Amino acid sequence: MKKRRVPRMNEQESAAWLGLTTVFSLLPSALDRQLQRDSGLTHFEFVVLSTLQLSPEPTMRMTTLAQATDATLPRLSHVVGRLEKRRLVARSTCPEDRRATNVGLTGDGRRVLIRSVPGHIATARRLVIDALTPEQLDALTEITGAIGAKLAEESGDPPPESLSSPARKSSGPKTS
């Protein structure tokens, strides 16, 4: 048991943390509700369909799709299964590697997605974008980027400069 001495946060820090956790607990559900109500889609289903449509190829491998959407493979498998029952996507065994599965958007899927986009963007705008000044938008991009970097280096390997130093687990490079 190493007491790391991280006693408590100062006021500035706890204000930011409190704000973050509050938004965390409220925003995702608000987003989900709107999408569910207007289009019958979960936010994650929306992300899956969007990712498929943005792909240059007409189909994607399950694993690739899972990585692109930050999902575990079982989760993706379940969701794709449901979407397939609703005829929004189609699965087919990859001919080159018969273990793999290719997923593609159906016509219905594309239509449903396209119809759901405006409402979703409108909600995003209403709840977030319109609430912020351009400077705050830039700040938000930087902030989320910084947090995202920490998260990436935490779980998994650090995307940048992974070949220079072999798996150092702690340390703060502090390249700011």
Partner DNA sequence: ACCGTTTGGTTGACGCGACAAGTAATCGGT
Partner DNA sequence: ACCGATTACTTGTCGCGTCAACCAAACGGT
Nearest to 54 by CA among 44, 38, 65: 65
| Dist. CA 49–CA 115, nearest whole Å | 12
Q: Considering only 78-86, 100-108, 114-122, 157-165, which stretch makes contact with a copy of itself by CB under 8 A?
A: 114-122
Query: Please, is 106 exposed, middle or buried when counting C-beta atoms within 10 Å of its C-beta (0-12, 13-18, 19+)?
Result: middle
Cα distances from 175 to residues 13, 32, 47, 164, in angstroms, run 21, 37, 32, 15
> Quick one: how far is CA 43 from the chain centroid?
10
Residues contributing to the site for DNA (CB under 7 A): 29, 33, 42, 44, 61-63, 66, 71-82, 91, 94, 97-102
The minimum distance between CB 84 and a copy of itself, in angstroms, equals: 23
Contact residue for a copy of itself among 26, 73, 94, 114 (CB under 8 A)? 26
Contact residue for a copy of itself among 98, 168, 172, 175 (CB under 8 A)? 172
- Say if CB 47 and CB 116 are below 8 A apart: no
How many residues interact with a copy of itself (rule CB under 8 A)? 55
**Binding interface with a copy of itself (CB under 8 A):** 3-4, 6, 8-9, 12-13, 15-17, 19-20, 22-28, 30, 70, 118, 121-122, 124-134, 136-151, 154-155, 172, 176
